[in-house]
Structure 1
Amino acid sequence: MTKPKIFIDGESGTTGLQIHSRLNGRDDIELVSIETSKRRDATERAKLINAVDIAILCLPDDGAREAVSLVSSLGVKILDASSAHRTAKGWVYGFPELNPGQRQKIANARFVSNPGCYPTGFLACVRPLIAKELLPSNFPITINAVSGYSGGGKNLIQKYDSFHEQQTTATSLYPYGVYGLQFGHKHVKEMHEYSGLASPPLFVPAVGDFEQGMLVQVPLPLWTLEHPPSGKVIYDAIADHFQGEKFVQVAPLADATLLRDGTFLDVMALNGTNIVQVFVFANDNTKEVLLVAQLDNLGKGASGAAVQNLNIMLGFPEELGL
């Protein structure tokens, strides 16, 4: 039986390297690589893209759009790990657990866009509540999130490496940078599109002094609602939405209670996995809930999700390579 051929366009970048490491050595696919000297050669890239079964794009947004313009073969499928096509017409959003039927859409699609890391955590928290109408679509959502610096790609990694090289024992400090302060972060559009919210959420991202790992926090002031649901109702809705899912897990409500009573939630606990875990913290007396998603920004937030989508597109078991 002929093995499906896979080409990673941009395999030398952060996400490309991670995907390559997850796929390299698998005996059920054939990885096709481009010569280092020809990585910027559009003719050679076009040749490879159109000669494989699936091309995975690990490129800046403009590069991804250019790569799609090179497609001429009707037989090739495209999995784009950039943010260029996440809300584009004709593209399927690659979050299999998002809605019933989403997996089948991915399996049938020719063009699939891998979700962003922050949106993955956010949508895992909020989409079930909007879908079950526990939150109105016009609810004013805010998001506070922190990611490892690897989420910013090569440029941010180089900045952090440079920062640490310049520090001395006497002046060493741990940077925590809030960014996106002009608002309109590129992830907001997909958060809005796939959450079911009537208006875009207010998103405040930050980068911490660690390489990878992510926490996405969504506070819910339920006292603003006429009939606020209890924390248990919120929890049950999310747990029911993801029942039976392997890669989206909902922590038992008891765990959330223990954490609230003084244990820290480790931002790096799920590094190296393809799992996003959702926590529900609730106080029914004050009618407040905090939803927290914990994930590896390079795992379920990027390369792990890409491999999961690739497996679905190939008709393979989702967990292969994960």
Structure 2
Amino acid sequence: MMSQMPKIFIDGEYGTTGLGIRQRLGNLPVQVCSIPVEQRHDMKVRLDMMAQVDLVVLCLPDEASRESVAAIQSLSGHQPKVLDASTAFRTHPDWVYGFAELDLGQAEKIKSAPLVANPGCYSSGAIALLHPLVKAGIIAKDYPLTINAISGYSGGGKQMIASYEVTKDAPPFMLYGLSLQHKHLPEIVHYAGLSREPIFVPSVGNFPQGMIVSVPLHVDTLSNNANIDDIKQCLQQHYADGNVVSFVDEVPAKVSGDHLALTDQMELHVHSNVRQDMVVLTATFDNLGKGASGAAIQNIRLMLGV
């Protein structure tokens, strides 16, 4: 039975995502348990801590996450719930995907799951836009999609942050992932319901936090003679509660990458031309908010019932 004040251990709390989660946990009725920084690589010390808590949050590289999960599953007796922020388990069948807005009932799955995979930042925006439209048959599963995205430099971790804020030798804008094999593609394909891998081009801009994911479409290539109103209605119905992810029908003339920085919200827009034959879908959010730590807090609330 869960303790009166749920206990959480963040394995990797000194990284960007871990620090963001730790800061946000100050607003929740939970007890955060830590180990000395000099012992953060000692598996025995970490495992002893994991055996005492209700939830372990993993903010580690993929291989380190796999090692931690294997260690947790080797514990006899009490095993804590696990929320993993890496890409290691996002499409694993034994793990629940931690995007509560994915479908009706997804939040309940997260609430009851012992193992939850926190979504990737780019993936969250792409899946939020594409999953409802593919599910409704407006976008075909094999549609030749292109996804463009820009993130604040905080998404690149401590080294990239330093290159912008300390050494100041980073470019104002940079495309990357041009091998077209970005690590978020598998979960985008899986949870958007696609059978054809999209072309995904991520980029980094000279602003700390924020993100825009955009998807251009020709309306005459959509399925079932769908039009722009069908797209809007589909997104509006899917995100009707508007609690964290909301469809905003009022279309701004410009979209700023840091529009929702320092928040845990996401806004979806549908932009179109005068002829109504072309459309650009956009998802705007904070890469460290709904794209990382904010999503983790949303999942922690569900998993611990707080």
Normalised by the size of structure 1, how large is the TM-score?
A: 0.89
1:46 aligns with 2:43: no
**1:227–1:283 Cα change, 3 Å:** farther
Q: How many residues of Structure 1 are paired with residues of Structure 2 in the alignment?
A: 301
**1:63–1:198 Cα change, 3 Å:** same
Partner of 1:248: 245
Partner of 2:228: 231
> Contact 1:56 / 1:80 at 8 angstroms: preserved in 2?
yes
1:3 aligned to 2, 5, 8, which one?
A: 5
- Point out where structure 2 has 5 or more consecutive residues left out of the alignment: none
> Contact 1:97 / 1:248 at 8 angstroms: preserved in 2?
yes
Partner of 2:23: 21
Question: In structure 2, the residue corresponding to 1:6 is in which secondary structure?
Answer: strand
Q: Which amino acid aligns with 1:276?
A: M
Find the aligned partners of 2:16 and 2:35 in 1 and give their Cα distance.
17
Find the aligned partners of 1:224 and 1:204 in 2 and give their Cα distance.
21
1:178 aligns with 2:175: yes
Partner of 1:35: 36
1:90 aligns with 2:94: yes
Structure 1 runs (4+) greater than 4 angstroms displaced: none
Q: CA deviation at 1:284?
A: 6.9
Question: In structure 2, the residue corresponding to 1:24 is in which secondary structure?
Answer: helix
Partner of 1:67: 68
Question: In structure 2, the residue corresponding to 1:203 is in which secondary structure?
Answer: strand
Partner of 1:115: 119
> Contact 1:93 / 1:115 at 8 angstroms: preserved in 2?
yes
Question: In structure 2, the residue corresponding to 1:63 is in which secondary structure?
Answer: helix
Partner of 2:105: 101
Q: CA deviation at 1:50?
A: 1.9
Identity rate of aligned residues, in percent? 43
Partner of 1:309: 299
Normalised by the size of structure 2, how large is the TM-score?
A: 0.94
Find the aligned partners of 1:181 and 1:40 in 2 and give their Cα distance.
33
1:276 aligned to 243, 250, 266, which one?
A: 266
**1:283–1:231 Cα change, 3 Å:** farther
- Point out where structure 1 has 5 or more consecutive residues left out of the alignment: 167-172, 317-322
Q: CA deviation at 1:283?
A: 3.5
1:144 aligns with 2:141: no
Question: In structure 2, the residue corresponding to 1:70 is in which secondary structure?
Answer: helix
Q: Which amino acid aligns with 2:128?
A: A
More off after superposition, 284-293 vs 86-95: 284-293
Partner of 1:319: none
Once superposed, what is the RMSD of the aligned Cα atoms?
1.6
1:57 aligns with 2:58: yes
Q: CA deviation at 1:272?
A: 1.3
